[in-house]
Structure formats: structure tokens, C-alpha cells
Amino acid sequence: MNQDMSIVQLVLGASWIVQAVMALLGAVSIASWAAIFQKLISIKRVRSLNDEFERDFWSGTSLNELFANAAQKPKDSGPMERIFASGMREFQKLRAGRVVDSATLLDGARRAMRASLQREVDVVESHLSFLASVGSVSPYVGLFGTVWGIMHAFTGLAALQVVTLATVAPGIAEALVATALGLFAAIPAVVAYNRFARDIDRVAMKLETFIEEFSNILQRTASAAAATPVAAPAAMAR
């Protein structure tokens, strides 16, 4: 392409509406990439914190000690640790309230963990809706700019008596840049959305599995306490 048909010249030569569409798509693309990098970092951190807590959980450390550590650093803990803390907190509250029925204890802890799970998943899924919107809407915004640009180009050609390819090509090329920008914004957003949705499903499944495993431990603890009510609950061995 010669200098007159460069991308910069095509953008500068487009109508103001097409330029506005291009500017909007450019801003959306930048915001989309920012959301992608932020989500990459956050999911990686969630996985790391979950793996670290899971190693500590199955290392044989007492539940009370794990709960004390989680209470000391609530902002630095991961989703799995916060879910564990919510279940332990409810379990201990019920036991402090003289509840001895194991089914009631387990049901209260599970409900607390389920509520915490929903909150954690909502946090991890933040910005996913934005990526989905960018991936679905950007091509149509670019197409609008293209249609408007072609309309504008043909309107300008109406006053010419002789129309050649050299007179038609610049206007059409200017309009097609909007479609290209729309695809440039949409394709990374769609790919990232699919990748993050799969990763978040795996994180949620892992948290669901942990809730079931921890519920089994609490059930054994509650049953043992009901069978021997005089035993001290401080150790809470598994």
C-alpha cells in the first residue's frame, strides 16, 4: 500500500462517525486487554493460595490451628481458606450454643460454606461479563462503522460523473478499517473468556470437593463429640 492508502491515512480520512467508532473500539480493546491481564494474575493467585492451604490442611495440622491462622490474615487468605474459616466459625458457634445434634452441626457448617463458596465464585468471575460483551458486541459496532463509511463514500461519489476503482477504493478501505478494529477487539476477548470460564469451573469444582471432604471431617468430629460429650474439643483431630 502506498502512503495515501496507509492505515493512518485511512483513519484520518474517514468521516467523523467512523472515526468515533474506531476510537471507541480502540478504547474497548485496551480495556479488554487490561481485564485479561488482571484476570490472568488473579486466577493464578487464587490457584496458588488454594494449593498452599490444601497442603497445610492435609498435613495433619489441627483444625483449630488452621482456623486461628485464617482468622489472623483474612485478607491474605485464598478462597478455600475463607470457605474453611466460614464453616469452622459456624460449627464452633453452634457447639458453643450447646447444640449436640451432629446433623444440625453439619447442616449449619455446610450452609455457611455454601454461602461463602458463592461469594468467592462471584469474585473470581468478575470482569468475565465485560469480556463476553466485548466479544459479542465489538464486531457489530465495527460493522456499523463500515456500513456508515460505505454509505458516506457512495454519497460522495454521487456528484462525480466518472467513477473508477481509484475513486471508490479509498472510501471503502476507510470503512473496512472499522470492521478490522472490531474483530481485533472481539477475538482476544472471546478466546480469553473461554479460557477463564474453563479455569473458573475447575476452581469451583475443587472448592466443591473440598467442602464435601471437610464436611466428612466435621461429621466425624460431631459424631465423636456426641458420643463422648465430656471430651475436650480443643484438639479436633481428624
Model pLDDT for residues 66-96, shown as the tens digit of each residue: 999 888 877 788 999 999 999 999 998 988 8
175 burial level (CB within 10 Å; 0-12, 13-18, 19+): buried
132 burial level (CB within 10 Å; 0-12, 13-18, 19+): middle
Residue 151 domain flag: yes
Residue 236 domain flag: no
Residue 234 domain flag: no
Q: Is the pTM of this model over 0.95?
A: no
* pLDDT at site 231: 43
What total of structural domains would you count in the chain?
1
Residue 114 domain flag: yes
pLDDT in tens, the chain (238 residues): 444 556 666 666 667 787 888 889 999 999 999 999 999 999 999 999 999 999 999 988 888 899 998 888 777 889 999 999 999 999 989 888 877 788 888 899 999 999 999 999 999 998 899 999 999 999 999 888 888 878 777 776 666 566 565 666 666 777 788 888 899 999 999 999 999 999 999 999 999 999 999 999 998 887 776 666 444 444 455 5
Q: Could you give the CA distance from residue 151 to residue 139 in angstroms, rounded to a whole number? A: 18
Domain of residue 129, residue span: 3-227
Q: Check if the beta carbon of residue 123 is closer than 8 Å to that of residue 105.
A: no
Q: Which helix (H) or strand (E) holds 65?
A: helix 63-72
Q: Measured at the alpha carbon of residue 227, what is the angle toward residues 224 and 230, in degrees to the nearest 5?
A: 95
Residue 34 domain flag: yes
* pLDDT at site 51: 94
Residue 50 domain flag: yes
193 is written with which cell numbers?
473468556
Q: What is the largest CA-CA distance in the chain?
A: 103
* pLDDT at site 236: 57
Q: Mind listing the pLDDT tens digit for each residue in 128-140?
A: 999 999 999 999 9
Q: Check if the beta carbon of residue 82 is closer than 8 Å to that of residue 116.
A: yes
Residue corresponding to grid cell 459424631: 223
* pLDDT at site 238: 57
Report which of 46, 47, 40 is spatially closest to residue 131, judged by C-alpha positions: 40
Residue 221 domain flag: yes
Residue 49 domain flag: yes
26 is written with which cell numbers?
480502540
